[in-house]
Amino acid sequence: MLNKYPLWKNLLVIFVILLAALYALPNIYGEDPAVQISADRQATVDAATLDLVRETLKSEDISPKSIALEQEQVLVRLSSDKEQLQAREALNKRLGDHYIVALNLAPATPSWLKSIGAEPMKLGLDLRGGVHFLMEIDMNEAMRKILDGMKDTIRSSLREERIRYTNVSVEDNAINVELRSDEDFQQAEQYLDGRYQGYQMVVDAETNTVTMRMTEQKLAETRDYAVSQNITIMRNRVNELGVAEPVIQRQGANRIVVELPGVQDTARAKEILGATATLEFRMVDTENDVRDAVNGRVPFGSELLPSRNGGPQLLKEDVILTGDHIVNAGVGYDEYNRPQVNIELDGVGGDKMSLATKDNVGKPMATVFMEYESTGERDAEGNLQFNKKAEVVSVATIQSRLGSSFRITGVGPQEAQNLSLLLRAGALIAPIQIVEERTVGPSLGQQNIDAGTQAIIWGLVLVLLFMVIYYRKFGLVADMALAANIVLIIGVMSMIPGATLTLPGMAGIVLTVGMAVDANVLIFERIREEIRAKRSPQQAIHHGYDSALSTIADANITTLIAAIILFAVGNGPVKGFAITLAIGIITSMFTAIVGTRAIVNSVWGGKRLSKLSI
């Protein structure tokens, strides 16, 4: 018997290892300190920006390694951290409000590697430093807001249709419409039936009530919408913060994960991300007396709200416009140098505003500033409880029909600044609370990388030494397979776009190093047994590999099951461990079985041997 691999098998082994090595290569080039320039919705990054950046850096005597325009961003690579900070400062000043200048570490991958899509591994926050937030959305409030909007719509359509009602109210995912007479009831039934998608009509002829109930499907869609809307807004806010490569993802039914690599000032990040301030525009109720309302007689359809300057105001419950129609907001000053917020609306918002103000020229309109504060408590179903704080910021008389741009006065300078930032980035449609935070400082991140690398190197050296001492030449073969396995793990980790290396992930690599030789140990022990049973060396090799195969497969599949379950239910760092463990198991099967066999066959196969160095 002669042990020979067909040529294609040898080539396959070489090809796989070379490919992995190629994709693992970017990891050794390190990173350049860089600044990354992107624009908000009011500006674009183009060749002109590029020139401006070049010129600014030149005037500051900073000579960057490279400046490149890619994917509507300018990336400036610098040679030191100090220059990086200088460059950010200078560019921030020069480019102004509409551009965001973020600090970043750009991989120094050579362009020939980049052209084949090779990138270094992504490092988890525990290795590169940064903040991880888990935020929870208040779904009750999100639903209430949407049902309130629906209530307003139904109310105004009934009015237009001249169907008289006594009350329209929101109750438990449904809107109750109480009609004035039997005739109105019939009209309403006819009019409302099937008019609004996602709502089911239930009628009660005895009380003349029509109930529009949200369908299960619509409920689910609405919840989804609330989350995705909040994610979009969160993304805008993160952009305003100027963070390179943020991660914003949905997790579960009502949570959002936000990861901000490299952010140190968590206090400001939290303030901006968690802010739920929004604006509402409402008409002031001029038909009723505020004093009556203060004494407890709040007229139907109106609401009493505190005012920032002066006593409470009586406002109509109907909302003319909410903050989500705002496309841009900026700070300005009026002729008396008082701060004001200039607001621009989108098309729909402009129409709404113009429709509402058309018949109300000369009447006062109020700007309501709303903020949600978490009480930290939860209701019976485990939903977070929030307090809504509404405050009238300003009341102004409508001078003429308003369009899609107007201004709000009556705010302080700092407030104008914050308000305009928040309005620009969009208001959250439902309040959120941070339920988990993990912040890692940069020095700890680097320390974790060093410790992890050290552990891998020490583990590797110990195992390599042991194998070569115990199994001699065959041990050397196993060592080569082990080294190839490390390259494969790093290569695969770099190739999979979603894979992130964390400290537990590095521990997973260490563990794999120890366990990966198991397959070789099994094979080699078998070969020894065969030799003791007086088989010829070639037969011993053949039988050794063959009979160990099913054992190796069984043993590895069970470990793989554990790794997959870890990946499925674990959170960030644990997932990182599971992924390197799973990849390690799979690659080690390849290197330990196919890889070593290729070497063994080409060194010892095809020869007459009297003994083996095992």
119-158: contacts with another protein (CB under 8 A): 126, 134, 136
Dmax over Cα atoms in the chain, in whole Å?
111
Touching another protein, residues 346-385 (CB under 8 A): 373-376, 378, 382
Query: Do 463 and 513 meet the contact criterion of CB atoms below 8 Å apart?
Result: yes
Among 63, 156, 207, 558, binds another protein (CB under 8 A): 558
What amino acid occupies position 455?
Answer: A
To another protein, the closest distance from the beta carbon of 452 in angstroms equals 7
Binding segment for another protein (CB under 8 A), chosen from 313-321, 339-347, 416-424, 570-578, is 570-578
Residue 277 sits in the site that holds another protein (CB under 8 A): no
Binding segment for another protein (CB under 8 A), chosen from 35-43, 97-105, 174-182, 463-471, is 463-471
Nearer Cβ to another protein, position 136 or 184?
A: 136
Residue 530 sits in the site that holds another protein (CB under 8 A): no
Q: Which helix (H) or strand (E) holds 36?
A: strand 31-39
Among 281, 577, 590, 604, binds another protein (CB under 8 A): 577
Torsional sign, CA 536, 541, 544, 549: negative
To another protein, the closest distance from the beta carbon of 382 in angstroms equals 6
Q: Integer distance in angstroms from the first to the last C-alpha of the chain? A: 19
- Cβ atoms within 10 A of the Cβ of 342, count? 15
Nearer Cβ to another protein, position 362 or 382?
A: 382
Among 571, 602, 606, 607, binds another protein (CB under 8 A): 571
Among 198, 312, 364, 570, binds another protein (CB under 8 A): 570
Would you state the structure tokens that stand for residue 40, as one six-digit string?
């908000």
Question: Per-residue x/- marks for another protein, 223-242, CB under 8 A?
Answer: --------------------
Integer Cα distance of 133 and 377 in angstroms: 19
Integer Cα distance of 156 and 526 in angstroms: 84
Integer Cα distance of 524 and 593 in angstroms: 11
Integer Cα distance of 541 and 549 in angstroms: 12
Residue 14 sits in the site that holds another protein (CB under 8 A): no
The number of residues in the chain equals: 614
Would you state the structure tokens that stand for residue 384, as one six-digit string?
């977070």
Among 309, 337, 400, 550, binds another protein (CB under 8 A): 550
Integer Cα distance of 254 and 388 in angstroms: 19
Query: Do 537 and 3 meet the contact criterion of CB atoms below 8 Å apart?
Result: no
To another protein, the closest distance from the beta carbon of 570 in angstroms equals 7
Touching another protein, residues 476-505 (CB under 8 A): 503-504
To another protein, the closest distance from the beta carbon of 412 in angstroms equals 23
3-state secondary structure 245-292: CCEEEEECCCEEEEEEECCCCHHHHHHHHHCCCEEEEEEECCCCCHHH
Residue 200 sits in the site that holds another protein (CB under 8 A): no
Strands 122-123 and 500-501: parallel
Residue 525 sits in the site that holds another protein (CB under 8 A): yes
Residue 68 sits in the site that holds another protein (CB under 8 A): no
Would you state the structure tokens that stand for residue 64, as one six-digit string?
């960057």
Torsional sign, CA 455, 457, 458, 460: positive
To another protein, the closest distance from the beta carbon of 185 in angstroms equals 45
Residue 559 sits in the site that holds another protein (CB under 8 A): yes
Question: Per-residue x/- marks for another protein, 425-454, CB under 8 A?
Answer: --------xxxxxxxxx-xx--xx--xx-x
Residue 544 sits in the site that holds another protein (CB under 8 A): no
Nearer Cβ to another protein, position 72 or 450?
A: 450
To another protein, the closest distance from the beta carbon of 591 in angstroms equals 15
Nearer Cβ to another protein, position 225 or 567?
A: 567
To another protein, the closest distance from the beta carbon of 295 in angstroms equals 32
Backbone dihedral angles phi then psi of residue 41, each to the nearest 5 degrees: -70, -15
Residue 614 sits in the site that holds another protein (CB under 8 A): yes
Backbone dihedral angles phi then psi of residue 406, each to the nearest 5 degrees: -160, -175
Residue 219 sits in the site that holds another protein (CB under 8 A): no
Task: Give the 3-state secondary structure of residue 184.
Answer: helix
